[in-house]
């Protein structure tokens, strides 16, 4: 049984609907930090084994959570766990800053960028481009049913970046008005597929049809080291509207052939060979 303080962080992670894989991975690392402060010896080792499953099951689709559990060692030494958890957080933040710097160089003057959902890596690219004095505007979807796009809109408003919000159903219409597409990722598979908020695949198809380059921004810890696209467990969250049951897969799968490049802290990778 995990300590209540650690279980509370995991429950908070399970309840999160807006922030994605980067945020959940960092919160997961913080849960490991808390665990190492509370336990040591055999109790710590036993709890770490339990944590591996608990963290992954927060959202089995997200490679970041799987890779976090691989990064933290199974040990009875709390100081070692603390140092590795702190290292994970540090590397993640550094990766995001580097992605911002690399990705912002892809944005030309007066670019029109279409995006879907709320990616902290994409936001970092926008922030970096704004700091470099570039002029661009963003088309963003509202991203139902959790409306992550509205959270992104608030951030863009705070940064002074011009934007317009569209309904998800208008992705096909507005893709042709953009000069570039940029989305985040919750998982990238060995065969180069991108798993992201449902609707990403539709955006990629629309951009392909209109000749709009489609880029993905993601830290390298979102690359799953073992599985292929067809093996990813896609989380489904059914909900009711009025008295009707509606199926709602949270993510979809975009094949590599629609992706111009994946912006990581190591540079812009071409899937699948460079993944």
pLDDT in tens, 28-40: 999 999 999 999 9
Q: For CA atoms 190, 172, 20, 160, give the dihedral sign.
A: positive
What's the angle, vertex CA 159, arms to CA 118 and CA 22, rounded to 5?
A: 30
Three-state DSSP at 113 gives: strand
Name the residue among 110, 119, 109 with its Cα closest to residue 140.
119
CA contacts within 13 A on the Cβ side of 247: 4
Instruction: Answer for the pair 180, 213: CB distance below 8 angstroms, yes or no.
Output: yes
Average pLDDT in the 6-18 region? 95
Three-state DSSP at 229 gives: helix
pLDDT at 184 over 90: yes
Residue 37 burial (CB < 10 Å; 0-12/13-18/19+)? Answer: middle
Three-state DSSP at 141 gives: strand
Distance CA 61, CA 244 (A): 26
Domain boundaries, the chain: 4-96, 100-269
> Given the structure tokens 């339990």, which residue do they identify?
50
Q: Output the pTM of the full model.
A: 0.95
At the second CATH level, the architecture of 100-269 is 3-Layer(aba) Sandwich (3.40)
Average pLDDT, the chain: 96
pLDDT at 11 over 90: yes
Structure tokens at 198: 């449902």
Q: What is the pLDDT of residues 126-156, one digit of tens each?
A: 999 999 999 999 999 999 999 999 999 999 9
Distance CA 57, CA 14 (A): 9
Instruction: Answer for the pair 167, 106: CB distance below 8 angstroms, yes or no.
Output: no
Distance CA 255, CA 201 (A): 8
pLDDT at 77 over 90: yes
Instruction: Answer for the pair 113, 76: CB distance below 8 angstroms, yes or no.
Output: no
What is 4-96's CATH number?
1.20.120.420
Q: Which residues are catalytic?
A: 186
């Amino acid at each position: 049984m995990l300590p209540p303080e650690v279980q509370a962080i995991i429950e908070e992670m399970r309840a999160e609907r807006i922030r994605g894989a980067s945020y959940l991975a960092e919160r997961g690392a913080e849960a490991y930090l808390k665990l190492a402060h509370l336990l040591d010896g055999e109790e710590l080792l036993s709890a770490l084994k339990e944590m591996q499953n608990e963290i992954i099951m927060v959202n089995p689709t997200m490679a970041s959570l799987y890779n976090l559990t691989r990064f933290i060692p199974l040990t009875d030494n709390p100081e070692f766990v603390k140092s590795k958890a702190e290292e994970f957080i540090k590397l993640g933040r550094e990766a995001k800053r580097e992605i911002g710097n690399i990705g912002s160089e892809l944005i030309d003057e007066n670019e029109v960028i279409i995006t879907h959902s709320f990616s902290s890596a994409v936001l970092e690219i926008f922030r970096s481009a704004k700091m470099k004095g570039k002029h661009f505007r963003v088309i963003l979807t509202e991203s139902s049913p959790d409306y992550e796009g509205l959270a992104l809109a608030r951030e863009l408003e705070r940064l002074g970046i011009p934007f317009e919000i569209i309904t998800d159903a208008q992705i096909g219409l507005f893709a042709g008005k953009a000069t570039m597409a940029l989305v985040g990722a919750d998982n990238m598979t060995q065969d180069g597929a991108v798993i992201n908020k449902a609707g990403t695949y539709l955006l990629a198809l629309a951009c392909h049809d209109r000749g709009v380059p489609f880029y993905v921004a993601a830290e390298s810890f979102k690359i799953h080291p073992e599985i292929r696209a067809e093996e990813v467990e896609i989380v489904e969250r059914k909900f009711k509207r009025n008295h009707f049951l509606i199926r709602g897969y949270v993510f979809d799968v975009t094949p590599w052939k629609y992706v111009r490049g994946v912006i990581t802290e190591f540079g812009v990778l071409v899937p699948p060979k460079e993944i």
